[in-house]
Amino acid sequence: MKSKVADSIRRGLEEALAYAEGMGDASRYGVHVPEDIDVKAIRIKLDMTQEEFAGRFGFSINTLRHWEQGRRVPEGPTRAYLLVIDRNPNAVQKALRAKPPKVPARDSNAGMAAEAA
């Protein structure tokens, strides 16, 4: 008897193989990042000043002003980031506030035992 988990894994592997062989439906797997993004509209929708928006999301104030004045345009990854800010600003703010996980201290005795072996 097959389990639902095994069936799901099998279907996923079959889809991945079809995609890798160029036979999958690329529209199901692609990411759409718009060419044009209205940074000022996003900022205004969030009811933030330029200073607040830049500080909250990690942009330089000068870069933000250039975007809003049309002197520069955000590059692809930045457009994707701005799209996420537009769609779910709370998630972005939460992620940026999160402290990185603590990395356990390396046991110095374990290193010595490995060297001695």
* CATH code, domain carrying 82: 1.10.260.40
**Per the domain annotation, does 116 fall within a domain?**
no
The one-letter code for the residue type at 17 is L
> Judging by beta carbons within 10 Å of its beta carbon (0-12, 13-18, 19+), is residue 19 exposed, middle or buried?
middle
**Per the domain annotation, does 68 fall within a domain?**
yes
**Which tokens in the block code for residue 113?**
């035992």
Q: What is the pLDDT of residue 19?
A: 65
Domain hosting 80: range is 39-97
SS3 state of residue 102: coil
Q: How many domains does the chain have?
A: 1
Higher pLDDT, 1 or 28: 28
**Per the domain annotation, does 105 fall within a domain?**
no
**Per the domain annotation, does 46 fall within a domain?**
yes
The answer on pLDDT for 69 being more than 80 is yes
The answer on pLDDT for 45 being more than 90 is yes
Q: What is the pLDDT of residue 98?
A: 67
Which pTM does this prediction carry?
A: 0.61
pLDDT confidence tier of residue 10, bands split at 50, 70 and 90: confident
**Per the domain annotation, does 3 fall within a domain?**
no
d(CA 93, CA 111): 39
Q: What is the pLDDT of residue 100?
A: 67
**Per the domain annotation, does 33 fall within a domain?**
no
**Per the domain annotation, does 34 fall within a domain?**
no
pLDDT confidence tier of residue 3, bands split at 50, 70 and 90: confident
